Amino acid sequence: MSDFDSEKKDGQARPDYYQPNQNAGGTYYNPPQNEQAQDSNTTYHYSYANNNQQAGSNYYEPPQNDNNSQNGNSPKPPKKNKAGKIVAIILVICAFVAVVGIVLGATGVIDSNKNSVNNNSTSQSQDSSSDVKTNDSNSVETKDSSGNLTVAGVAQKVMDSCVGITVYSQQQEAYNYFYNYGDNSNSSGSSDPQKSGEGSGVIMSESNGKTYILTCAHVISGGTKFTVTLNNKKEYDAKMVAYDSQTDIGVLSINATGLQVAEFANSDNLAVGEQVVAIGCPGGLEFMNSLTSGYISALDRPISSNIGYDNKCIQVDAAINPGNSGGALFNMQGQVIGVNSSKIAATEYEGMGFAVPSDTAISTANSLIKSGYVEGRAKLGITYVQLTKYSNYSAILSALEEKGYKDAEGTMVINSIDGSSDLASKDVKQYDMIVAVNSKTMTSTDVLTSVLADSKPGDTVKLTIARIENNEIKIKNVECKLMESKGESTTTNNNSGN
């Protein structure tokens, strides 16, 4: 798969994807700005104003006692014979008032105490009801109503089968002329392997005292030493079993047993809209076994590998970041349905990640473990560059259309021919173009790769070859016997193999 991850330093540049045209002078939405109010008295908030107190308003005043002297009437003097009785009555009234006052005072104290107690109780009740309460339950829902695992349930089930991979590469030390003046014995040399990348993987199987780790070819292809880190942070030295650049699948092994092996599902049964979970090491082992969740956006998306093969991949919107390569894509039963391989890393795109389907990954990995390469795979024995990589491809396509090969954008320009290829004995050379296979126009490179996928070593295919001579295009047909492909151990920046 095309590598947009940090683990791969020297991979083939990814074919350009369609990018939306940017309209000149296009504007983006800007929220409207509040206009300055013309009235200086305008306000943008409400404030409470007491409108009841108006100027000149009269407040309630208690009535004043009339002065009897103003009426012109003088009070009559009391009679002398009633003075003793009046004094006695006054004394009785005062005594009665005193008793009543004492009784009412005592009652008021009691009521006051009761009210105080009630008020305190009410206040405490109100304070208590306003306290934030937490749920002491630690249970996490791991299954939904349909019986599928929740995202948390998937994490609990599979996390121990997910691993981190550290890749080390042998680096040549440049000769320092002045450091060892006069000593030419160190004019060249190699240092110890240096860490060159980090990626992800998933435990796929155990056999004969070894545990096998499934990952991506572009994660491990440039390495000479590897370590595998488990979810419990335990590390193991790992060995490369093999890798296949065509499918971008690789396998490591460690000397360990009893580890949690992942469960794999049939990727042919997937559907767009299914929820998925991706687990890996985005940014490296610092963020090991980070989980993201999303949905299947599309199936059978043709994505080019490092050597030019178009593989049919699962497209997902779960976040895939540098370091996620080789990590597993799970369904909601906690089963592996794919191996995360790449993403479209451009500012115009978000949420476009791709995974190798589990069926492809497992069949490839099993062949790599058994034979070191994918058995029974046929190839022509050439390297090529796609015609559309050339600046003048439009003129060539127009000329091919005049010859009857319309929309031949998948035309392959031969760059080299393997000495053991049947084409080496034919009248075919560098820069010849394959414009059709078995009479089918190369509308995409899929035309040839599909024929090869359905063929076996020893089968014969008919190639339509176009050659430019004297500024003219000449067409001829050539039959070629297919040879067995025994895998790719190296890749180049510009050439692809078939």
The residues carrying an active-site annotation are 218, 248, 325
Beta bridge partners of 212: 205, 253
Is there a contact between 296 and 316 (Cβ–Cβ < 8 Å)?
yes
496: nearest Cα among 310, 244, 307, 311 = 307
C-alpha distances (whole Å) from 15 to each of 30, 302, 303 are: 35, 12, 9
Detail the DSSP E strand segments found in 50-193: 162-169, 172-173, 189-190
252: nearest Cα among 278, 218, 228 = 228
DSSP labels, 353-371: EEEEEHHHHHHHHHHHHHH
339: nearest Cα among 312, 303, 314, 368 = 314
Is there a contact between 341 and 219 (Cβ–Cβ < 8 Å)?
no
Is there a contact between 423 and 480 (Cβ–Cβ < 8 Å)?
yes
Q: Buried (b) or exposed (e) across 112-129, using 16+ Cβ within 10 A?
A: eeeeeeeeeeeeeeeeee
Contacts of 41 (CB under 8 A, 6+ apart): none
Instruction: State the Cα–Cα distance between residues 20 and 350, nearest whole angstrom.
Output: 13
Burial of 478 from C-beta contacts in 10 A (0-12 / 13-18 / 19+): middle
274: nearest Cα among 292, 293, 300 = 293
Read off the tokens for 216: 């991506």
Instruction: State the Cα–Cα distance between residues 310 and 36, nearest whole angstrom.
Output: 60
Beta-strand pair 328-330/378-379: unpaired
User: Tokens 């009857």 identify what position?
Assistant: 404
Question: Residue 121 is which amino acid?
Answer: S
